[in-house]
Structures are given as structure tokens and as C-alpha cells.
């Protein structure tokens, strides 16, 4: 097996690291707060990185990633791989990859889709940016922690794919929820609405796989009182990353901007932070035209 350092053992990192241990790899972890069972923990990020073939980071944001990279890069062996699986801004991903290269290391940005359930089951999707050689080193680890890994391009391409995907997700969820609320007020039965849309041109993952209406379609957080799932405040984080990126490259993303504003209102003014992002349906149902 490989010698792996794993920094950031929270909701996602802990089960990902557990799957690497179960597959026979030697994992040394570090986290400033979490103390997960079954992972050998180091006293510092640098200690966890020392002598590792691969150091995986799974951290909250780009600022923390940049700080941790400063700590681990000097400790890593020449030619070792820094594999960042956090969701961060494209600029931070590229900056960290450049610093790694300057230090004689390899780097891959590989944010994930699939949530805590996917991390636990080892069925995440990885979207990766970096050289073909670096992707090849990470691939056996992707195969343990996930079911699909797409090499999207050079450094930053993984983060770019992630925020584009999640911008579509935020927009289609809102569109699906406002359409259900309109259907309610038109007296249209929700099951009929689902049966039509899920097999018509309005279909999407938000309708078909994660239906925001309780009791309709496959089981989803709507059937569990809108407990996350995928919390609205995490959706907001990803939408804001999409808008930061859009601004930086002068891309016109009006639907993404509206979705960001609606989730910001939901999270910051309407107690939506800890609710699933599909709780936009009761939000729209209870509102009037403004
Ligand atoms: P989390 O907050 O549960 O875990 C982050 C961990 O990082 C925490 O345990 C925290 O103590 C640790 N940490 C913070 N600063 C640190 C430092 N300086 N050194 C070492 N450890 C430090 O978050 P999570 O849900 O595991 O998410 C991690 C990343 O994955 C985020 O970027 C998130 O956007 C992304 N993501 C999450 C989900 C999800 O469903 N939770 C899905 C896809 C992607």
C-alpha cells in the first residue's frame, strides 16, 4: 500500500480516509478539531505529510487550503503528490498547484460530488485538474474512494467543473421548486406534475432523483422534513464560488446570480442555513409574488 497523509477529517474526510485504510493503505491524519476513530493521528499537518507518497487535503475553503499548503509542502518528499479534494475557488486551486510545482511536488485538484453518503460508501465522483502523470498516481485512490473520476484538464479544471455543475444544480432546483409552487396554486396535483415533468423536457436531476416534493418520486430529504442531505448553506458556498469565478473571467451568468441571491436570502434571512437546499419548495409555496 501507499503511505498517505490526510489533512481535514471532517464529515467528508473521515469516511474517505477510512476507506483508504480498509483498502490496505497506511494513513496518517491531522485535523485541528476532529478526532475520528480508526485513523492514526499526527500532532501537526507537517508531521502527517512527512514521508508520504500522497497528501490528501479535505478542508473547508481556499484560505485554509492555502495556509495548510504552506505547512505541508516543505515537509513533503520530492515528487510526492498533493491531492486536494476540497471545494475551493479556482484561483486558490491554481495558486496551490503552482506552489507545489515550485517545491518539486505534483498537484491535483479533485473536488467531489456525492456528499457524505458517497464518501462513506466509496461512491464519490471526482473531477480532477492536473497533469496526466499526476492524475495517474491519484487514480487508484479515486477508485477506492469513488466510482468515477474524470480528468478535466490542467490545474483548476476540477474546481471549474465542480462550480459549473453546482451552478446548474442550484438553478434547476430553484426552477423545479418555483414550478411546483406555481402548479399548487393552479390546482395541479403534485404527482401528476412529477409524472409529466420527470419524463418531459423539464426533467433534471433535481426533479427526477431528488424531488423537492414530499412523498413524490424517489426518497429524498423532502421525505425527511428537509433535513440535509445537501444543506442550503453549502449550496450557497458553491454558488458564490461560481459567481467569484464568473467575475474574474468576465462570464455573464445571470441565472447563477439570481440563484445565489435567492439562496443567500434563504440562508441569511429565512433560517434556511441548516435545511436541505430542496426546502426552496416550502419557501416558494409560502410566498406571494413580490
Ligand atoms: P467539515 O467542516 O466537516 O470538515 C472540514 C475539516 O477540516 C474539519 O474537521 C476541520 O476541523 C478541519 N480543519 C479546518 N481547518 C484545518 C486546518 N488548518 N488544519 C487541519 N484541519 C483543519 O466539512 P466537510 O463537509 O467534510 O467538507 C469538506 C470539503 O468538501 C469542503 O470544501 C466542502 O465544500 C466539500 N464538500 C462537502 C460535501 C458535503 O456534503 N459535506 C460534498 C461535496 C464537497
Q: Which three cell numbers stand for residue 141?
A: 485512490
Q: Which atom of ligand 1 is nearest to the CA of 61?
A: 32
CA of 32 to the centre of ligand 1 (A): 11
pLDDT tens per residue across span 93-150: 999 999 999 999 999 999 999 989 999 999 999 999 999 999 999 999 999 999 999 9
Pairing of strands 124-129, 112-113: antiparallel
- Residues of the chain with pLDDT > 90, as a percent, come to 98
Q: What ipTM was reported for this prediction?
A: 0.99
Among 99, 148, 162, 237, the one annotated catalytic: 162
CA of 12 to the centre of ligand 1 (A): 7
Tell which residue, 206, 231, 209, 234, has the closest CA to residue 219: 209
272, HSE (Cβ side, Cα atoms, 13 Å)? 25
- Helix, strand, coil in percent for the chain, rounding step 5: 50, 15, 35
pLDDT at 289 over 90: no
Report the alpha-carbon distance of residue 272 to residue 221 in Å, rounded: 14
Nearest CA to ligand 1 atom 1: 10
Q: Measured from the CB, is residue 8 less than 6 Å from ligand 1?
A: yes
pLDDT tens per residue across span 200-238: 999 999 999 999 999 999 999 999 999 998 999 999 999
Would you call 162 a catalytic residue per the annotation?
A: yes
Would you state the pLDDT for residue 129?
Answer: 98
Nearest CA to ligand 1 atom 21: 31
pLDDT tens per residue across span 222-279: 999 999 989 999 999 999 999 999 999 999 999 999 999 999 999 999 999 999 999 9
pLDDT tens per residue across span 52-72: 999 999 999 999 999 999 999
Nearest CA to ligand 1 atom 17: 32
CB contact at 8 A, 2 and 53: yes
Report the alpha-carbon distance of residue 114 to residue 273 in Å, rounded: 20
Nearest CA to ligand 1 atom 42: 115
CA of 196 to the centre of ligand 1 (A): 38
Q: Measured from the CB, is residue 166 less than 6 Å from ligand 1?
A: no
Q: Measured from the CB, is residue 34 less than 6 Å from ligand 1?
A: yes
CA of 11 to the centre of ligand 1 (A): 7
Q: Measured from the CB, is residue 35 less than 6 Å from ligand 1?
A: no
CA of 155 to the centre of ligand 1 (A): 21
CB contact at 8 A, 140 and 108: no
pTM: 0.94
- The residues pairing with 19 across neighbouring beta strands, listed in sequence order, are none
pLDDT at 290 over 80: no
Amino acid at each position: 500500500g501507499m503511505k498517505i497523509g490526510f489533512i481535514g477529517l471532517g464529515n467528508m474526510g473521515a469516511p474517505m480516509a477510512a476507506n483508504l485504510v480498509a483498502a490496505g493503505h497506511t494513513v496518517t491524519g491531522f485535523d485541528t478539531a476532529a478526532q475520528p476513530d480508526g485513523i492514526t493521528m499526527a500532532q501537526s499537518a507537517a508531521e502527517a505529510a512527512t514521508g508520504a507518497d500522497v497528501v490528501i487535503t479535505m478542508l473547508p475553503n481556499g484560505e485554509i487550503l492555502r495556509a495548510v499548503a504552506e505547512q505541508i509542502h516543505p515537509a513533503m518528499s520530492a515528487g510526492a503528490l498533493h491531492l486536494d479534494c476540497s471545494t475551493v475557488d479556482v484561483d486558490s486551486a491554481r495558486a496551490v498547484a503552482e506552489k507545489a510545482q515550485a517545491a518539486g511536488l505534483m498537484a491535483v485538484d479533485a473536488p467531489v460530488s456525492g456528499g457524505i453518503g458517497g464518501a462513506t460508501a466509496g461512491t464519490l465522483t471526482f473531477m480532477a485538474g492536473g497533469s496526466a502523470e499526476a492524475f495517474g498516481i491519484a487514480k487508484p485512490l479515486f477508485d477506492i474512494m469513488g466510482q468515477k473520476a474524470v480528468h478535466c484538464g490542467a490545474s483548476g479544471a476540477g474546481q471549474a467543473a465542480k462550480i459549473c455543475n453546482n451552478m446548474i444544480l442550484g438553478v434547476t432546483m430553484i426552477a423545479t421548486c418555483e414550478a411546483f409552487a406555481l402548479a399548487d396554486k393552479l390546482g395541479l396535483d403534485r404527482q401528476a406534475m412529477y409524472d409529466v415533468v420527470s419524463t418531459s423536457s423539464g426533467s433534471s436531476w433535481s426533479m427526477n432523483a431528488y424531488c423537492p416534493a414530499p412523498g413524490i418520486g424517489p426518497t429524498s430529504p423532502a421525505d425527511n422534513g428537509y433535513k440535509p442531505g445537501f444543506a442550503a448553506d453549502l449550496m450557497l458556498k458553491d454558488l458564490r464560488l461560481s459567481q467569484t469565478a464568473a467575475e474574474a473571467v468576465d462570464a455573464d451568468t445571470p441565472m447563477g446570480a439570481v440563484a445565489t441571491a435567492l439562496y443567500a436570502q434563504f440562508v441569511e434571512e429565512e433560517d434556511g442555513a441548516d435545511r436541505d437546499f430542496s426546502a426552496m419548495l416550502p419557501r416558494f409555496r409560502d410566498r406571494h409574488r413580490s
